[in-house]
Amino acid sequence: TELPRPYPNEIPHNEKLLSLKYESLDYDNSENQLFLEEERRINHAAFRTVEIKRWVICAMIGILTGLVACFIDIVVENLAGLKYRVVKDNIDKFTEKGGLSFSLLLWATLNASVVMVGSVIVAFIEPVAAGSGIPQIKCYLNGVKIPHVVRLKTLVIKVCGVILSVVGGLAVGKEGPMIHSGAVIAAGISQGRSTSLKRDFKIFEYFRRDTEKRDFVSAGAAAGVSAAFGAPVGGVLFSLEEGASFWNQFLTWRIFFASMISTFTLNSVLSVYHGNAWDLSSPGLINFGRFDNEKMGYTIQEIPIFIFMGVVGGILGALFNALNYWLTMFRIRYIHRPCLQVIEAMLVAAVTAAVGFVMIYCSRDCQPIQGSTVAYPLQLFCADGEYNSMATAFFNTPEKSVVNLFHDPPGLPWGRVCARWLICSLLACGTRQGADSPGRHDGILPSPGLCCLRPAGCGIVRMTLSLTVIMMEATGNVTYGFPIMLVLMTAKIVGDYFVEGLYDMHIQLQSVPFLHWEAPVTSHSLTAREVMSTPVTCLRRIERVGTVVDILSDTSSNHNGFPVVESNPDTTQVAGLRGLILRSQLIVLLKHKVFVERANLSLVQRRLKLKDFRDAYPRFPPIQSIHVSQDERECMIDLSEFMNPSPYTVPQEASLPRVFKLFRALGLRHLVVVDNRNEVVGMVTRKDLARYRLGKEGLEELSLAQT
């Protein structure tokens, strides 16, 4: 049952992507001796303090995420208003004189230049801020860190980028960026310092490890969803569905708390900004307006319609994903230089404007202005006292046009709605930030029943449970709960039949070693022996400094975890596994020169505190930056005081699903494979497990980027 390696991979990978380096995270507690000692000292009262700090951090995450959402909303509104006035004045001028093509030109130029600024800062300053950010956060929660993904700089660029994209008329939404923003805020606050600002506030030092940081990032992502949709429960479910492998009740409550605070902050600030201070009527950025309960009944006869809609939505979603896939492939291959990316974005903005103008011109979709609540009515080709509803849709900020879409007069023909949606989708597909556009189309249509919008969104992203709750919360109504679920599930099943979800697709395209929920079903024939990496570089309990330095400097292996074995293995005694030590820990040991001189083993070596490790987290210096003299190379280093004394192990005979389950459930980074005598025979890392997937002809192996 040996697999041919490397299995011919059907995805033509770009060399550049495969050479990207991702960092694996360690969501196990990395229980080393120092940490254990600290935990043992912690009594009940100290634990309480830590617990209170956790709640305070979650409150701060919620508040800041809410404020960022407010900032985006207010700035977009003002800039969009400005753009509207400039274009309207121009149109008014030229409507009399004739020559509306000048208006089109102005509109397109405005959009393109705004988008240019946005894409320049993204492409040249922080490329990781491009896109929705949802795949990146999914990866982070799964245990793969894409470089720079939770930095303050990324947050700033992301916020500016999304504002400029929305103002520039691109078919993008704010929910992806909000999730990413929440995650960055959480990662920053929970560590009590910022590397971008070079400030260390010396607080929250207890939380400087991967597990704790991941928990807060979950809370941040939930707060982001909550702010975007006004859906705190949906936010929690999103975080749990995407991230946390292990449902912990205490964690869930904190995530829930952060979500609540986030939507409440947004609500309060926006209420004050809009002048009705005590009203709390803006729970989220994306609000589908309030629906009247009475009109929203549904009967049993409609159920086939819902199912049909689910099927259509699933197919449309699959089409969207396929289109998106090919475009992404094209981009990976040809548009990888920043200036090309900027030109592409500008082109898309100009095309969007042009398509919009053509549609406005062709549709002549006039509505009476009297009694209408639209924000930016444009008379454009309409009689006096009427406005062009298509123009409004293109001029408004995305969420406003969605509300208009839903609250249009009941006579609205379905065909037109679907046509609009299709064009929107195509534009979204062509947009650089295409990955976050599906959120934009998440909506149900109350007036003529449910339309194809919602299910297609599900067909695209495939998150059933959290999406259902988000929809329920965003529409402020649960009456449609059952139909929504029915449609979403059908869409998901149908969509899954064709292609996988958008985010999963993007993750796979990026060659990230992402661990799914379960090992491929046909992988029982593989055992740890076959999937592990071997041979493994082991260290002795008391090791020569020179050896350690040489091993760490060996760029060809570049391992991150080293099993520690008994010091003096003679042939009669078994050199069993004693512990596991990480590259980062060794670096700190070398940096602080925690050596025992060879001549004098009884000499007490310099005491290292857990704080020394925490201060270095998460950016440990490279081995090259640490100078070790020739004399020091001859010293010894005692690893047993710093290693993890009880690493998880599996026997060689364990099957892949079993290894996978252990790895996934505990969030491991390294898993040592031992034989019957507890001797190290191999090491399983994330990459060894993530490379298998179920293809059309059975088990396949993927090429993965380096971690």
Interface positions, 85-104, toward a copy of itself (CB under 8 A):
none
Is the Cβ of residue 211 or residue 533 nearer to a copy of itself in the bound state?
211
Contact between 517 and a copy of itself by CB under 8 A: the answer reads yes
Backbone angles phi, psi at 18, to 5 degrees: -65, -25
From first CA to last CA, the distance across the chain in angstroms is 27
DSSP-derived 3-state class of residue 613: helix
List the one residue from 26, 399, 473, 688 that touches a copy of itself (CB under 8 A): 473
List the one residue from 137, 674, 684, 689 that touches a copy of itself (CB under 8 A): 674
Contacts of 447 (CB under 8 A, 6+ apart): 295, 406, 407, 408, 409, 410, 412
Cβ(114)–Cβ(84) under 8 Å?
Answer: no
Which residue type occupies 690? A
78: tokens are: 């003002």
Instruction: Tell which positions 117-156 bind a copy of itself, by CB under 8 A.
Output: none
Contact between 256 and a copy of itself by CB under 8 A: the answer reads yes
- Min dist CB 55 to a copy of itself, Å, is 10
Is the Cβ of residue 600 or residue 676 nearer to a copy of itself in the bound state?
676
- Min dist CB 667 to a copy of itself, Å, is 9
List the one residue from 93, 290, 598, 607 that touches a copy of itself (CB under 8 A): 290
- d(C-alpha 396, C-alpha 41), whole Å: 58
Please give the full DSSP string across 626-682, using - where no structure is assigned.
S---HHHHTSEEEGGGTSBSS--EEETT-BHHHHHHHHHHHT-SEEEEE-TTS-EEE
Is the Cβ of residue 332 or residue 694 nearer to a copy of itself in the bound state?
694
Instruction: Tell which positions 35-64 bind a copy of itself, by CB under 8 A.
Output: 36, 39-40, 42-44, 47
Query: What is the distance, to the nearest Å, from the Cα of residue 583 to the centroid of all Cα atoms in its chain?
Result: 27
Count CB-CB contacts under 10 A for residue 45: 7
List the one residue from 170, 485, 505, 549 that touches a copy of itself (CB under 8 A): 485
Cβ(137)–Cβ(400) under 8 Å?
Answer: no
List the one residue from 525, 557, 558, 629 that touches a copy of itself (CB under 8 A): 525
- Min dist CB 265 to a copy of itself, Å, is 12
Residue keyed to tokens 């740890």 = 528
Contact between 250 and a copy of itself by CB under 8 A: the answer reads yes
Is the Cβ of residue 14 or residue 267 nearer to a copy of itself in the bound state?
267
Is the Cβ of residue 281 or residue 553 nearer to a copy of itself in the bound state?
281
Question: Which residue stretch of 9-17, 368-376, 537-545, 573-581 sits at the interface with a copy of itself (rule: CB under 8 A)?
Answer: 573-581
- Min dist CB 304 to a copy of itself, Å, is 13
Is the Cβ of residue 167 or residue 487 nearer to a copy of itself in the bound state?
487
540: tokens are: 């002795």
Cβ(502)–Cβ(435) under 8 Å?
Answer: yes
Contact between 580 and a copy of itself by CB under 8 A: the answer reads no
639: tokens are: 């690893």
Contact between 497 and a copy of itself by CB under 8 A: the answer reads no
List the one residue from 4, 97, 247, 383 that touches a copy of itself (CB under 8 A): 247
- d(C-alpha 634, C-alpha 482), whole Å: 71
- d(C-alpha 572, C-alpha 555), whole Å: 34
- Min dist CB 281 to a copy of itself, Å, is 8
List the one residue from 331, 633, 661, 693 that touches a copy of itself (CB under 8 A): 661
List the one residue from 110, 486, 639, 702 that touches a copy of itself (CB under 8 A): 486
Residues in the chain, overall count: 707
Contact between 201 and a copy of itself by CB under 8 A: the answer reads no
List the one residue from 92, 200, 550, 653 that touches a copy of itself (CB under 8 A): 653
Contacts of 600 (CB under 8 A, 6+ apart): none
Is the Cβ of residue 44 or residue 97 nearer to a copy of itself in the bound state?
44
Is the Cβ of residue 301 or residue 555 nearer to a copy of itself in the bound state?
301
What's the Cα-to-Cα distance from 85 to each of 15, 125, 164, rounded to whole Å? 47, 31, 17
Instruction: Tell which positions 529-568 bind a copy of itself, by CB under 8 A.
Output: 566
Count CB-CB contacts under 10 A for residue 410: 9
- Min dist CB 372 to a copy of itself, Å, is 21
Contact between 286 and a copy of itself by CB under 8 A: the answer reads no
Backbone angles phi, psi at 197, to 5 degrees: -90, -5
Cβ(389)–Cβ(365) under 8 Å?
Answer: yes
What's the Cα-to-Cα distance from 159 to each of 62, 129, 177, 262, rounded to whole Å? 17, 9, 7, 17
Residue 300 DSSP one-character state: G
List the one residue from 201, 246, 326, 334 that touches a copy of itself (CB under 8 A): 246
- Min dist CB 212 to a copy of itself, Å, is 14
List the one residue from 375, 478, 542, 616 that touches a copy of itself (CB under 8 A): 478
List the one residue from 205, 662, 693, 703 that touches a copy of itself (CB under 8 A): 662
For 384, counting Cβ atoms within 10 Å of its Cβ (0-12 exposed, 13-18 middle, 19+ buried), the class is: exposed
Instruction: Tell which positions 296-355 bind a copy of itself, by CB under 8 A.
Output: 297-301
Contact between 577 and a copy of itself by CB under 8 A: the answer reads yes
Residue keyed to tokens 């010894």 = 636
Is the Cβ of residue 348 or residue 643 nearer to a copy of itself in the bound state?
643
What mask of x and - would describe binding to a copy of itself in positions 164 to 183, judged by CB under 8 A? --------------------
Cβ(139)–Cβ(512) under 8 Å?
Answer: yes
Q: What is the CA radius of gyration of the chain?
A: 28
List the one residue from 518, 550, 597, 631 that touches a copy of itself (CB under 8 A): 518
Contact between 571 and a copy of itself by CB under 8 A: the answer reads no
Contact between 280 and a copy of itself by CB under 8 A: the answer reads yes
Residues binding a copy of itself: number (CB under 8 A): 93
What mask of x and - would describe binding to a copy of itself in positions 205 to 244, judged by CB under 8 A? ---------------------------xx--x---xx--x
Contacts of 665 (CB under 8 A, 6+ apart): 245, 246
Contact between 278 and a copy of itself by CB under 8 A: the answer reads yes
Can you name the residues that pair with 644 across neighbouring β-strands? 580
Is the Cβ of residue 213 or residue 492 nearer to a copy of itself in the bound state?
492
Contacts of 361 (CB under 8 A, 6+ apart): 381
